[in-house]
């Protein structure tokens, strides 16, 4: 029962973070288009987090609940230990131990917190831009569908910054947009939109600021 609880907690923690892990995996694999594959999970993330906490909390409760001294269960365990073959002990397997539960709980916490530190996996793609004429600088807001966390923002910005002429770029999953400042002599809105769409997230509208 405890092992099933631990397995369930681990599975829900990983599932809750899939929408944020996938963009990083896409970056590593060089397949940008799969970044938004699990974005549909985002609405269920709070429930998955709650389920993870509930399941692992119950597993810890079962692990730490005290057994009254002198109960028949303790006596039976002692008798069973005496009947074990030589060299064998009543010590639980590692997968049933408190150490294993600590490891699983720590891993679950790391998974659930992934959106808050996912940016460290993205290399800095900002380039030194020499602006010859400020009149050539244009700022456009791109409305984007599909971004669900900070990892999605980082993925969009990482890809956009690969283009020539990008002066400044900022994305927000909360606002569902990216505001891109670029040199119109070196890039254009069509190229930027194409790059954003290549990540799997979709530009639904754009307007000049």
Per-residue pLDDT of the chain (209 residues; tens, 9 = 90+): 667 777 887 788 777 777 777 776 666 666 666 666 777 777 777 888 888 889 888 888 888 875 444 444 444 454 444 444 545 555 667 777 788 888 888 988 888 887 777 777 776 666 655 556 678 899 999 999 988 888 888 889 988 998 988 999 999 999 999 999 999 999 999 999 999 998 888 999 999 87
User: Do 155 and 91 belong to one domain?
Assistant: no
User: Do 115 and 131 belong to one domain?
Assistant: no
User: Do 106 and 133 belong to one domain?
Assistant: no
The parent domain of residue 21 ranges over 2-119
The residue from 65, 87, 119 where one domain ends is: 119
User: Do 71 and 110 belong to one domain?
Assistant: yes
User: Do 87 and 108 belong to one domain?
Assistant: yes
User: Do 16 and 104 belong to one domain?
Assistant: yes
User: Do 103 and 83 belong to one domain?
Assistant: yes
HSE toward the beta carbon, residue 100, CA cutoff 13 A: 15
Question: For the domain that residue 155 is a member of, what is the CATH number?
Answer: 3.30.70.100
Overall pTM surpassing 0.95 (yes/no): no
Domains held by the chain: number: 2
Rounded to whole angstroms, the Cα distance separating 75 from 78 reads: 5
**Residues 6 or more apart from 183 whose CB is under 8 A from it?**
129, 131, 136, 137, 138, 165, 166, 167
User: Do 142 and 111 belong to one domain?
Assistant: no
């Amino acid at each position: 029962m405890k092992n099933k609880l631990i397995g369930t907690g681990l599975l829900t923690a990983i599932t809750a973070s899939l929408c944020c892990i996938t963009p990083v995996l896409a970056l590593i694999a060089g397949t940008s288009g799969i970044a938004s594959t699990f974005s549909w999970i985002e609405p269920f993330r709070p429930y998955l987090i709650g389920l993870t906490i509930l399941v692992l909390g119950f597993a810890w409760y079962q692990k730490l609940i005290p057994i009254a001294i002198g109960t028949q269960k303790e006596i039976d365990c002692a008798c069973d230990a005496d009947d074990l073959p030589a060299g064998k002990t009543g010590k639980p397997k590692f997968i049933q131990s408190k150490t294993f539960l600590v490891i699983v709980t720590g891993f679950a916490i790391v998974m659930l917190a992934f959106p808050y530190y996912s940016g460290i996996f993205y290399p800095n793609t900002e380039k030194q831009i020499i602006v010859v004429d400020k009149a050539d600088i244009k700022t456009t807001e791109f409305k984007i569908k599909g971004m669900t966390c900070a990892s999605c923002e980082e993925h969009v910005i990482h890809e956009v910054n690969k283009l020539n002429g990008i002066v400044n770029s900022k994305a927000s999953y909360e606002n569902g947009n990216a505001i891109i400042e670029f040199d119109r002599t070196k890039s254009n809105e069509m190229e930027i939109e194409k790059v954003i769409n290549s990540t799997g997230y979709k530009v639904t509208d754009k307007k000049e600021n």
